[in-house]
């Protein structure tokens, strides 16, 4: 009986010991957005980057029903920028600039400047630091900026207190547009870096102080560097070639009358004729389905001009 009492006491001690190695939530500083810009290199230094983290200030977030974002005099976030040679090193240096421990478990977006995206020595190595960080989730969205990446984390809006959260929401607006692609996560970028195939990453810019999401950055799969940008009809052509459309609308004119065709489904077939290596021919057949005033029609498109887009990608 005595032995059972001893075992019972030890069991209670285990359950009452608590989380001795956990950091109190009040001592943490949650990072919701990060931006990477290329920094000037000093003597003997290479691959210097500036990492800007956007920290949430919970006490200043508007309550539901109150006016949010741009009309508030107090910001619900704080941006902190540090320059170094790796994201890991910079994160450690940030510990000396804030009284709270940076936490990346709630990171939603990672914005990369075009100067880094167009330099293969920077892009793959910088993203590798985020891919390997055990705190960072594989679902965070990667975006290429059309200018300084850190500037996008300063945008004030009337609908959101936190710029990073506003940008994250914009990226989800691709559902019913043929000119926007699906968000690209850092887990997907990891796969891209391991392959030799070309790939696309959403691109956003600042226009008159507002976020403008209207393009995608094109990356060469072998060098992993940005080699161009697609917008508007080029993105429509790419998505039609890909044949994975579930929603979207095409506008065109017939007899000088504007027509709007809403696509509910699309499939593509690509045939490559290599009989003459000096004159390789590619034909693309795209079948689309969409509603009409009377019934559901199946429309068949042969799109040869889209081959120009393939050469860009």
Q: Do 223 and 259 fall within a single domain?
A: no
The Cα–Cα gap between 88 and 214 comes to: 32
Boundary-marking domain end, from 231, 266, 290: 231
Q: Do 244 and 212 fall within a single domain?
A: no
**DSSP SS3 for 194:** helix
Whether 205 is covered by a domain: the verdict is yes
pLDDT at position 297 is: 41
Q: Do 189 and 261 fall within a single domain?
A: no
Residue span of the structural domain in which 56 resides: 25-231
Whether 103 is covered by a domain: the verdict is yes
Q: Specify whether the CB–CB gap between 168 and 189 falls below 8 A.
A: no
109-112 and 141-145: which strand pairing?
parallel
pLDDT at position 268 is: 87
Whether 66 is covered by a domain: the verdict is yes
Whether 3 is covered by a domain: the verdict is no
**Which residue, among 205, 207, 234, has the nearest Cα to 218 in the 3D structure?**
234
Q: Specify whether the CB–CB gap between 77 and 160 falls below 8 A.
A: no
pLDDT in tens, the chain (313 residues): 555 566 565 565 555 555 544 555 445 678 999 999 998 776 556 678 999 999 988 777 765 444 444 444 678 889 999 988 877 778 777 777 776 677 888 899 999 999 999 998 889 888 888 888 887 889 999 999 999 999 999 988 878 889 999 999 988 876 667 778 889 999 999 999 999 999 999 999 988 878 888 899 999 999 999 999 999 888 888 888 888 777 777 777 888 888 888 888 888 888 999 999 899 998 888 888 877 533 334 444 444 343 344 444 4
Q: Do 289 and 143 fall within a single domain?
A: no
Q: Do 276 and 190 fall within a single domain?
A: no
Q: Do 211 and 63 fall within a single domain?
A: yes
Q: Do 157 and 301 fall within a single domain?
A: no
Number of domains in the chain: 2
Q: Do 217 and 70 fall within a single domain?
A: yes
pLDDT at position 5 is: 61
The pTM of this model reads 0.78
Boundary-marking domain end, from 204, 231, 258: 231
The Cα–Cα gap between 168 and 151 comes to: 15
Boundary-marking domain end, from 198, 231, 264: 231
């Amino acid at each position: 009986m005595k032995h059972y009492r001893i075992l019972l006491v030890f069991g209670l001690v285990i359950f009452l010991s608590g989380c001795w190695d956990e950091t109190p939530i009040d001592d943490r500083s949650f990072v919701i957005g990060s931006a990477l810009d290329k920094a000037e290199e000093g003597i003997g230094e290479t691959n210097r980057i500036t990492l800007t983290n956007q920290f949430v200030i919970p006490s200043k977030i508007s309550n539901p029903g109150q006016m949010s974002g741009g009309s508030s005099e107090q910001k619900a976030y704080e941006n902190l920028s540090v320059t170094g040679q790796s994201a890991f090193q910079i994160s450690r240096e940030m510990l000396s600039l804030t009284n709270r421990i940076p936490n990346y478990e709630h990171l939603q977006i990672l914005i990369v400047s075009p100067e880094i995206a167009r330099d293969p020595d920077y892009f793959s190595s910088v993203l590798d630091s985020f891919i390997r960080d055990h705190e960072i989730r594989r679902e965070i969205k990667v975006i290429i900026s059309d200018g300084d990446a850190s500037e996008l984390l300063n945008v004030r809006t009337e609908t959101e207190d936190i710029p990073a959260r506003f940008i994250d929401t914009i990226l989800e607006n691709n559902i019913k547009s043929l000119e926007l692609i699906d968000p690209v996560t850092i887990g997907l970028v990891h796969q891209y870096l391991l392959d030799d195939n070309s790939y696309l990453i959403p691109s956003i810019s600042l226009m008159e102080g507002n976020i403008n999401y209207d393009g995608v950055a094109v990356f060469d799969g072998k060098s992993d560097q940005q080699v161009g940008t697609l917008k508007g009809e080029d993105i429509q052509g790419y998505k039609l070639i890909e044949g994975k459309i579930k929603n979207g609308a095409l506008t065109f004119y017939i007899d000088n009358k504007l027509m709007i065709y809403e696509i509910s489904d699309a499939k593509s077939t690509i045939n490559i004729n290599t009989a003459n290596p000096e004159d390789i021919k590619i034909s693309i057949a795209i079948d689309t389905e969409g509603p009409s005033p009377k019934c559901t029609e199946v429309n068949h498109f042969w799109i040869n001009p889209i081959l120009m887009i393939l050469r860009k990608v």
